[in-house]
Amino acid sequence: MKISIIGSGNVGVAAALYLIEKKVADVVLIDIVKNWAEGIAMDIVHVSPIRKYDVHINGYSDFSKIKDSDVVIVTAGKPRLPGMSREDLLRDNIKIMKQVSEYVAKYAPNAVLITVSNPLDILAYVALKVTGFALKKVIGMAGILDSSRFRYFIASELGVSPKNVTALVLGGHGDLMVPLPRYSTVHGIPVTELLSKSKIEELVERTRKAGGEIVSYLKTGSAYWSPGCSAAEMAECVVRDKRRIVPCSAYLRGEYGIDGLFVGVPIQIGKNGVEEIIELALTTEEKEALHFSAGKVKGTIEKLEAEKLI
Amino acid sequence: MEKVSIIGSGNVGVATAFYLAEKGIANIMLVDIVEGKAKGSALDLSEAAPVRGYDVKIEGSSDFKNIKGSKVVVITAGKVRKPNTLRYELLEENVKLIDPIFEEIKKYAPKAIVVVLTEPITAMTYYAWKKSGLDRKKIIGVAGKLDVTRVCEYAAEELKVSPIDVTALVLGGHHKFMVIPPEFIRVSGIPITELLPEEKIKKLINSAREAGTTILSLLKKQTSTYSPGAAVAETVGAIVNDTKAIMSVSTCLEGEYGFKNTCLGVPVIISKKGIEKIIDIELSLEIKEELKASADVINKTIESLGI
């Protein structure tokens, strides 16, 4: 099996490292900066005797090397800097995603495409349109990361192992994400039974701003371990046909009453990409929050289409 | 590296040692009163170490003094079921078998957390509490953890999803009276009640109740080995690494869930202290009644112990 990662910045390299540590597949790192991916790959290869890697890792600036990949992860794009919103990155990153998508369509037409670059829900849409891939083959990475952060905050608050906590965060990847406490559990027990409403609200708020919190500490960059790990987890689910149920940004066609958009929802992820979209029995309030979040994504896309940017 | 002793080097004892070694959780001392039995298995496991790359020490002995310094002592010793025997029928015989073991633990590892797997687990956990005089937080019966893994596996199979994402809560006893609230069977947090029709959920719950018996009826000469071993190793790992993992286990209750001076399966937080905290959650009326019926059965068994 072969996984290609386009963009060998911090997120791409973190994803590569998780994939190699778990021996998920051979990894190809790509970066347009000449020799950059090659250097990173070489650095990681040198670790193999210590960490006992027996999968292959190679780096190139030549996109044709992604040929016949089973999964392509796109992390290429400019990252957020302090004071920037994910939307600020829009114009530059659309250009990058268009270019990358053309290469993916050309060299890895059978791959499942996982997009990580921000703004997530918009760029996943761009990737789908440019590649012309089947709808289930393009998935955006957001929900796993957002819910992982929510899970971590819940576990810390309760003083329990993060392993025991599950969470679902839906909607667009941004300040309007929709964490669902009712579906967030500790060993199957909904957190709503274990934490007060105000405490949950506090953790929800921290989750929404968690990416920004890290940017404010790092100053010259944004989070990369948790996004890299989340993308690697998705790639593993595809390569090993794990059929896990996880929140991801998927193209909806009427599910949840949303049509023609990428929005974070629980999906079953397996060898074909999106195996199934799971429709939850949401309350009116939860549904409204999801629609409000999706409305924001829709507004941006309509604006971009009017400007002929996508 | 902490030391974990396993009393009883039968299939489940050895499977526990296997999972502990594979995960590199602790040094292991296998003890069996049958001369050579523990030592042989310890050697066998140790000789796999170069291939599998684990470096915990695995030793075997028939002498209880070697459990000295253990952080955790696991009791797997005891008679196991044959087809058509019931778990509580093993009580009398296993009580006799286990009495001298407590004496040895008191003598050589008085500070250890005791993990009980001898059948009938819930009654035996209560017996261990009363006989050992230990703090109830230091005695853990691994029944629920095992039942939970079976519920999760059956649910995953029915839904064709990864078993990693399924969680469940099992309360009460480790037998056909175990209580499995459907609303707490969840897939990535989604209640199974949103994913499967009621009759299918009932069916898989019943299969989970009978899981141990199903395996016994297939193997005939042997009860299940791997799932109990894995459940014990997971519990031991949570103690040794102080992970604060939440599990359903059999623990002695002093008012929680409205029960006193008895032992029942409930969700707890496991830490280096043993049971860090019992999680007392609000149950539906229906589940409360089921739990009461389950407790009645256990209390009857406990009464027959005459302690």
* Structure token digits, residue B295: 């407790």
What is the DSSP secondary structure assignment for residue A25, as one 8-state letter?
Answer: S
Q: What is the torsion angle, in degrees rounded to the nearest 10, for the CA atoms of residue B99, residue B92, residue B135 and residue B233?
A: 90
Spell out the per-residue pLDDT of chain B, length 307, in tens. Answer: 999 999 999 999 999 999 999 999 999 999 999 999 999 999 999 999 988 989 999 999 999 999 999 999 999 998 887 777 777 788 888 999 989 999 999 999 999 999 999 989 999 999 999 988 899 999 999 988 888 899 999 999 999 999 999 999 999 987 678 999 999 999 999 999 999 999 999 999 999 988 888 888 898 888 889 999 999 999 999 999 999 999 999 999 999 999 999 999 999 999 999 999 999 999 999 999 999 999 999 999 889 888 7
How many residues does this entry show for chain A? 310
The pLDDT value given to residue B144? 85
Cβ of A187 and B185 within 8 Å? Answer: no
Residue closest to A31 by CA, chosen among A75, A80, A69: A75
The pLDDT value given to residue A288? 96
- List the single residue in A with minimal CA-CA distance to B169: A188
Cβ of B244 and A159 within 8 Å? Answer: yes
Spell out the per-residue pLDDT of chain A, length 310, in tens. Answer: 999 999 999 999 999 999 999 999 999 999 999 999 999 999 999 998 889 898 999 999 999 999 999 999 999 998 777 787 767 788 889 999 999 999 999 999 999 999 999 999 999 999 999 999 999 999 999 999 999 999 999 999 999 999 999 999 999 888 899 999 999 999 989 999 999 999 999 999 999 999 999 989 988 888 999 999 999 999 999 999 999 999 999 999 999 999 999 999 999 999 999 999 999 999 999 999 999 999 999 999 999 999 998 8
The identity of residue A92, as a single letter, is: D
Q: Does pTM top 0.90 for this prediction?
A: no
| Alpha carbon distance A50, B53 (integer Å) | 12
Cβ of A161 and B246 within 8 Å? Answer: yes
In this predicted model, what pLDDT tens digit does every residue of A189-213 receive, in sequence order? 999 999 999 999 999 999 999 999 9
User: Which own/partner pairs from A152-157 qualify as long-range (CB within 8 Å, at least 24 positions apart)?
Assistant: A153/A203, A153/A206, A153/A207, A153/A210, A154/A184, A154/A186, A154/A191, A154/A195, A154/A203, A155/A186, A157/A195, A157/A199, A157/A203
Which residues, 6 or more positions from A193, have their beta carbon under 8 angstroms from its beta carbon?
A: B281, B282
* Structure token digits, residue A188: 């199957």
What counts of helices (H) and strands (E) characterise chain A?
Answer: 10, 14
User: In the β-sheet with A185-186, what is the strand arrangement from edge to edge?
Assistant: A165-166, A185-186, A189-190
Tell whether the torsion through CA atoms of A296, A301, A306 and A308 is positive or negative.
Answer: positive
- Which residue is listed with tokens 């956990």? B125
The pLDDT value given to residue A50? 87
Cβ of B245 and A161 within 8 Å? Answer: yes
| Alpha carbon distance B43, B299 (integer Å) | 42
Cβ of B246 and A183 within 8 Å? Answer: no
| Alpha carbon distance A288, A257 (integer Å) | 11
Q: Is B194 on the interface with A (CB under 8 A)?
A: yes
What are the distances in angstroms from CA B182 to CA A104, B169, B203, B212? 44, 9, 11, 20
* CA angle (A117, A121, A127) in 5-degree steps: 65
* Structure token digits, residue A243: 């059929």
Find chain A residues with C-beta within 8 A of B269's C-beta. Answer: 159-160
Give B97-119 as a DSSP string. Answer: HHHHHHHHHHHH-TT-EEEE-SS
Residue B304 has phi, psi (to 5 degrees) of -65, -15
Residue closest to A148 by CA, chosen among A162, A132, A133, A134: A162
Residue closest to B145 by CA, chosen among A187, A195, A307: A187
Give B164-190 as a DSSP string. Answer: GGEE---BB-SSTT-B--GGG-EETTE
B150 touches B211 (CB < 8 A): yes
Residue B139 pairs in a beta bridge with B114
Residue A260 has phi, psi (to 5 degrees) of 75, 30
| Alpha carbon distance A255, B51 (integer Å) | 50
Beta-sheet pairing, A169-170 with A189-190: unpaired
Residue A20 has phi, psi (to 5 degrees) of -75, -40
Cβ of B189 and A167 within 8 Å? Answer: yes
Find chain A residues with C-beta within 8 A of B273's C-beta. Answer: none
Give B213-239 as a DSSP string. Answer: HHHHHHHSS----HHHHHHHHHHHHHH
Interface test with A, best of B160, B167, B169, B188 (most A CBs within 10 A): B188
Nearest to B162 among A160, A242, A247 (CB): A242
Residue A220 has phi, psi (to 5 degrees) of -95, 10
In this predicted model, what pLDDT tens digit does every residue of A255-280 receive, in sequence order? 999 999 999 999 999 999 999 999 99
Q: Is B265 on the interface with A (CB under 8 A)?
A: no
Q: Which residues of B are catalytic?
A: 174
| Alpha carbon distance B220, B258 (integer Å) | 39
| Alpha carbon distance B64, B58 (integer Å) | 15
Q: Is B50 on the interface with A (CB under 8 A)?
A: no
Longest CA pairwise span in chain A (Å)? 55
What is the DSSP secondary structure assignment for residue A32, as one 8-state letter?
Answer: S
Interface test with B, best of A160, A184, A272, A283 (most B CBs within 10 A): A160
Which residues, 6 or more positions from A70, have their beta carbon under 8 angstroms from its beta carbon?
A: A1, A2, A3, A25, A110, A111, A112, A238, A239
The pLDDT value given to residue B8? 96
Catalytic residue among A46, A56, A173, A291: A173
The per-residue b/e assignment along A101-128, b for 16 or more CB within 10 angstroms, e otherwise, is bebbbebbeebbbbbbbbbbbbbbbbbb
Beta-sheet pairing, A26-30 with A57-60: parallel
* Structure token digits, residue B234: 């997971």
Which H or E element spans position B91? helix B91-108
